[in-house]
Structures are given as structure tokens and as C-alpha cells.
Amino acid sequence: MENIFNNYDWHDSTLRNIVIDRTSDTIMISIEWPDNTVSDVIFEDCYAFISNMNFGIMTPENILMAEAISDNTEESTLIKDKWRKIGIDLDNLIEFRIETNSTASIIRIFALKVSFKVSESDAFTQK
């Protein structure tokens, strides 16, 4: 899963929207790739979402970098330890980190699964 995410050409792609579905602990982000195709990136079995997003700049939200990190980070270790106390094993938890170029925003999603699909909706096209 980590390799699938990391093999995409994230640099200069555009973050179009973020949808958080609390009924299924799923996060979907819509990405416009440098070749102008649009995909939905779907994170399932999410255990944390940390975002520091800056606003006030009216420009497309271009991505500087994105990576999947399966090694234990300080935050992923805290999340795993919290859930381990109630009997849930999150050894396969992955941190997905997205950093934007336009506003220096950082999005961190901690999930067990990620998938990509061609977007069926073009409702968020930037004009």
C-alpha cells in the first residue's frame, strides 16, 4: 500500500477537496494530476486526521509532496499505544502525509487502507 501511494506523481498535482465521512471513518481527497486527470484517493479505516491548513490565498492548492510512512513516527506510536490499551492492534497503521506548495499546509491521515479511483464528479473544477 505504501508503494502504491508513493509511486504517484504528487508534485504539482492539485488538491481539490477533502471529504470526511464520520459514519464510516473514511476520508476522500480529490486530486487533479499534472496530466489533468482527476482521481479520488480514499483512505479507509482511519484512526486520526491532523490538519494544519492555511487560508487567505486565492490560488489552486498545489501539492509539494506526499508520502506514505509505515515506519513508526512519534504520532503513529501514540495512536497505536492508545488503541492497544483497549485491545486493538494497529501494527499496519500507515501515516499519509501531504504538504502543499501554495499555502504550506500539512495534512496527515493515519489509516489502514488507501485506494485510488477515477473521479466520477467534476463538481469542484477550479475556474
Asked if residue 126 is part of any domain, the answer here is: no
Domain that holds residue 96: 2-118
Provide the number of structural domains found in the chain. 1
Asked, for residue 124, whether it belongs to a domain, the answer is: no
- Determine, yes or no, domain membership for 6: yes
Matching residue, cell 470526511: 20
Q: Is residue 99 a part of any domain in this protein?
A: yes
What pLDDT, on the 0 to 100 scale, is given for residue 30? 97
pLDDT for 123:
44
Could you tell me the pTM of the whole model?
Answer: 0.88
Return the pLDDT at 125: 39
Q: Mean pLDDT for each consecutive 10-residue tract of the chain (127 residues)?
A: 84 96 96 95 97 86 95 93 95 96 94 89 42
Distance, CA of 28 to CA of 114 (rounded, Å): 9
User: With contact defined as beta carbons under 8 Å apart, do 88 and 82 qualify?
Assistant: no
